[in-house]
Chains A and B, each alone.
Chain A
């Protein structure tokens, strides 16, 4: 078990390392650097030289990578290109805000998705199933900015129930984001629920068609006991991985929603940094998001392994 755990951690670390190389190399290969971005039109001749000297950009790439990466490991991402502010400080609040949004959406979406997934799976091809399955296709395919726009139009513009835009500043305490955060949470939860629901539904259908469920029926086990004791523990295991991927997507891919609602999260910061060509900030955000992605997936893998007796035995016996 310990060996398996270490192996997974090692593979995760390797992935993060490759990400850091991709990020660093990517920025190196692209034309322009922090100085050209900062100096804009004046970026030529002596001025550019001096800036590069000051930033240490003249040193070999490998040396700079090691410095950057070792700083990142300690949580120090250096300073931003334009504001000369510490990136760790800039990112800190934004990360917290993104996490707040993610946790709220997960809190609403995951229980709802599992409940609806189980219901539609058990009532396959019945009206309930057809309704929610169709709704799920809509929810997961319509672009987020479209559903956000429609929801703002309905709930904010026409009905006036909820604020359609976030005005709270990035550094405000979490409680001040309510009720502004509600619409973004609803949009996120909708997409997420749709994905998890579909997964859970198909998993429930597959398990319910299995031999051991037929056996349980013919053993005279009451229906609800079959569902809760025999079917769900098996059907929900694969959901863990989908939830993990959804969390990762929440943290990284909600850029559009943050822009639509003017929400001060990591995603909007990223867009701004890219527009300003503030490459150190972009690098830092990319690395943080990628690490979270790898970490969440790793956790899901380990959880599945721990909860599934088959995989557990496998792990205990050693690869």
Chain B
């Protein structure tokens, strides 16, 4: 009997998740976006085994060669295979942001929901601190820490997770305010449920949709930040292949070797666009207006 209960109720939930996924896939933006994202994830995982060359193998005879049968996407200024480096150039970015995004959404989400429910003076103070953090440019916050502590993933992941969790607080808090005003929360309070139960049972399931869309957005912003840092020379250190770094390296030579820039440009753009298209479709499927959100 117990198990039947669990499965039946679970079924209703699974049905909803299934319906949302189907809805996402039936929208052109969702289908294209999800395909791009899945493709990137698969490539990032299998690329070390399928790339034609060693990513750090230099060849002084093959520098800045245009695309050919041997090097489909040409070579860079050190004679390294551009295809190989492009295929592997997203691994670091996906690893770092893939870990940092869930952490950011979870901590920001919980803080936001909690203060949204509790409210009062404490909440006012917290919001001023959140505002203060948001008023500082992200790149400044990140760079100061990176310059001090180094660019390893053990620095990047907590740094990104911390700073990108702050705007999530705001979103989660606003979403919580909308839910708290509804009678089912009053009903739960009137029955005598504690705060933790109310958060877990009443608020979280209703805020989760917003947080999921927010998570997708944070992921794309984080990728943007990560590759910008690499581009500026504060991210991944050579010779590890990274799109941002490859674009920075190839930029000076792009008048006669544009392939060295275009390959990572296409790769990075397609991933970020894929995430955003998916987020758009997901938001529409869940009935959330993503466009109402500001760029911060």
Contact check, B135 vs A293: say whether CB atoms are below 8 A apart. yes
Contact check, A145 vs B136: say whether CB atoms are below 8 A apart. no
**Which A residues are CB-close (under 8 A) to B50?**
none
Alpha-carbon distance A138/B280, docked complex (angstroms): 12
Q: Is A171 an interface residue (CB 8 A)?
A: no
Q: For residue A15, which residue of chain B has the nearest CB?
A: B131
Give chain A interface residues in 1-55, CB to chain B under 8 Å: 11, 14-16, 18-19, 22-23, 26, 30-32
Q: Is A104 an interface residue (CB 8 A)?
A: no
Q: Is B144 an interface residue (CB 8 A)?
A: yes
Alpha-carbon distance A252/B292, docked complex (angstroms): 22
Q: Is A105 an interface residue (CB 8 A)?
A: no
Q: Is B204 an interface residue (CB 8 A)?
A: no
- Indicate whether A153 sits within 8 Å of B254 (C-beta atoms), given known contacts A22-B136, A241-B294: yes
State the Cβ distance, A161 to closest chain B Cβ, in Å. 14
Alpha-carbon distance A208/B248, docked complex (angstroms): 46
State the Cβ distance, A79 to closest chain B Cβ, in Å. 20
**Which A residues are CB-close (under 8 A) to B224?**
141, 143
**Which A residues are CB-close (under 8 A) to B272?**
141-143
- Complex partner residue of B261 from A14, A22, A153, CB under 8 angstroms: A153
Q: For residue A277, which residue of chain B has the nearest CB?
A: B147
Contact check, B144 vs A282: say whether CB atoms are below 8 A apart. yes
Instruction: Apart from A145-B247, A153-B254, list 12 A-B contacts with CB within 8 A.
Output: A31-B148, A143-B228, A150-B265, A201-B291, A245-B295, A248-B296, A256-B231, A259-B232, A275-B147, A277-B147, A289-B136, A293-B135
Give the interface of B toward A (CB within 8 A).
29, 128-129, 131-140, 143-145, 147-148, 220, 224, 227-228, 231-232, 244, 247-248, 251, 254-255, 258, 261, 265, 268-269, 272-273, 275-277, 280, 289, 291-292, 294-296
What 8 A-B pairs come out closest when comparing CB atoms? A252-B137, A202-B291, A18-B132, A293-B135, A198-B291, A290-B135, A245-B294, A19-B132
Give the interface of A toward B (CB within 8 A).
11, 14-16, 18-19, 22-23, 26, 30-32, 137-138, 140-146, 149-150, 152-153, 157, 195, 198-199, 201-203, 206, 238, 241-242, 245-246, 248-249, 252-253, 255-256, 259, 267, 270-271, 274-275, 277, 282, 285-286, 289-291, 293-294
